[in-house]
Amino acid sequence: MKRFKTLRVRFALWTAGLMLIVLVLFGTFVYISLWQGLANSIDDSIKLSTSQAIAAVNVENGHINFSDSLPESSAAELRDRGLTIRILSPDGTVLQSVGPYQNLSVDSKSIQNANVRISSFSTISLIDSDPIRVYTAPIMENQNIIGIIQVMQSLGTLHETLDRLLLALLISIPVLLIVSALSGYFLAARALSPIDQITQTAQRISTEDLSARLNLQGIDDEIGRLATTFDNMLSRLEEGFNREHQFTSDASHELRTPLAAMQAILNVTRERKRPPEEYETAMDDLSEETDRLRALTEDLLYIARGDARPATPYEEVNLSNLLTDVSESLRPLAESKGLTVKSDIQNDLFIIGDSDALIRAFVNLLDNAIKYTEKGEIFVNAVRGARKNIDILISDTGRGIDPKHLPHIFERFYRVDESRTTQGFGLGLAIVHEIVRTHHGTIEASSQIGSGTTFQLHFTGVDKPL
């Protein structure tokens, strides 16, 4: 029963059903058309024979000469054509007849029509023989009816032809139905074979292995586009799973580091009794590791919320004031390292966004600039560009970033310092990138070793509110 639920079988059955309807309609049309054509042809032949018979009738002084009304040559020709001819008086009495059906009864209605100068056809059904087609017409002389003629012909040839056609249809229609069903099944199987491949590939896929692909080549139709879409979806899923797997692995590694340090501090401290000063030192170390763990946890939670963040209502944010406040809040940190913070921020730069998230992004960028700059200055520039765009540059004169690292600096847990001797978890720039992305902006980085690094941000601004 399951086999009848497959698309192949259903397509084959639908094809056969539609073909049956088409063939029945076509066969009916052909049968009726042939029947009408043959019937009209027989009627035309009978009319022509009637005209020939009337022309052969010998009329003298307004009366039919029955002694020679139908010459023997004409009568023989009519018999050879399978016709029966009868000459009747106006009251319907048979006066002379030639042919196999001369003894048939006379139809009174046809005689009445002939007496009012109306020629008519009628069909006589016989029990043990084919129906007879009868044509009744008046014989006129000087506008007077001097007699009635009837020409008869069997419809056996017509019925025989129609029976042959019907037999041919009854044989050919089932054959064509079988051929159409098999063809439909074959075409469906061939068309749906990529679907089977998709199904088999989907069954092989698991979270541990997303590398399976269809790789259907040279198919530019709906199935081919479906397969391409399926492969693209698998690529995105594999990329997402790999990214999450890497994120989980890196997160667990980063979490283990402060936890291991805290465990080591506790183990060493508990080995023996120590003076109060050493306990205070241990507590300070534990506090430092706790702060490190708290900061890492906050970053991880922010990224996790960002991956599944619902659409939150944004508000108008004055970037000019926000950048100025962030620059001023970090100026003491820069000055403590002997750095100068310069800014050139155009007034009244507004965007639609989340002010807290934007503050976090700019604090991360400026904090990185201060952290990796030993001498020189930090420069913040913000202007309104074309089409209300807001262009922001944050640059420093620090150590710079090797070009091989630039394509990866916005990846989670990626560190330019491969030895990981510097503070940080490799999440700051990833968080910045996520914040900029959720604000429909872009961020790019350029750098030269020993000359500093520049971050370029582009946002879509809005007009100044009233």
Mean pLDDT of the chain: 80
Q: Which of 277, 256, 282 is nearest to 267 (CA)?
A: 282
Q: pLDDT class for 422, splitting at 50, 70, 90?
A: very low
Length of the chain: 466
- pLDDT at res. 421: 42
Q: In what order do the strands lie in the sheet with 377-384?
A: 340-345, 377-384, 389-396, 452-460, 442-448
E-only strand ranges, 10-167: 59-60, 63-64, 83-88, 94-98, 120-124, 132-141, 144-154
- Please say if the pLDDT value at position 247 is more than 50: yes
Q: Indicate whether 33 pLDDT > 90.
A: yes
pLDDT of residue 200: 75
Q: pLDDT at position 206, please?
A: 63
Q: Is the pLDDT of residue 29 over 90?
A: yes
* Per-range mean pLDDT, top range of 42-46, 245-249, 458-462: 42-46
Q: Could you give the count of Cα atoms lying within 13 Å of 21 in the half-sphere of its Cβ? A: 5
Helices assigned H by DSSP within 63-132: 72-80, 108-115
What angle do the packed helices 7-56 and 156-204 form, to 10 degrees? Answer: 170
Bridge partners, 154 (sequence order): 132
Q: What is the DSSP string of 330-381?
A: HHHHHHHTT-EEEEEE-S--EEEE-HHHHHHHHHHHHHHHHHT-SSSEEEEE
Q: Kindly report, residue by residue over 299-332, the tens digit of the pLDDT.
A: 667 666 655 454 456 788 899 999 999 889 888 8
**Is residue 171 very low, low, confident or very high in pLDDT (cuts 50, 70, 90)?**
very high
The pLDDT value given to residue 457: 92
Please report the pLDDT score of residue 380 as a whole number: 92
pLDDT at 241: 75
Of the chain, the percentage scoring pLDDT greater than 90 comes to 15
Domains and CATH numbers, the chain: 2-160 (3.30.450.20), 222-307 (1.10.287.130), 315-460 (3.30.565.10)
Residue 101 confidence (pLDDT): 81
Confidence check: pLDDT of 359 > 50: yes
Q: Which of 178-192, 199-213, 443-457 has the lowest mean pLDDT?
A: 199-213
Residue 310 has a pLDDT of 45
pLDDT of residue 321: 92
Q: What is the pLDDT of residue 419?
A: 39
pLDDT at 238 over 60: yes
Q: Per-residue pLDDT tens for 79-93?
A: 667 788 888 888 888
pLDDT, one tens digit per residue, over 92-144 is: 888 888 878 878 888 888 888 888 889 899 888 888 788 889 999 998 887 88
Q: What is the pLDDT of residue 314?
A: 78
Q: 417 vs 265, which has greater pLDDT?
A: 265
Q: What is the mean pLDDT of residues 157-167?
A: 91
| pLDDT at residue number 235 | 81
Cβ neighbours for 35, distance < 8 A, ≥ 6 positions apart: 158, 162
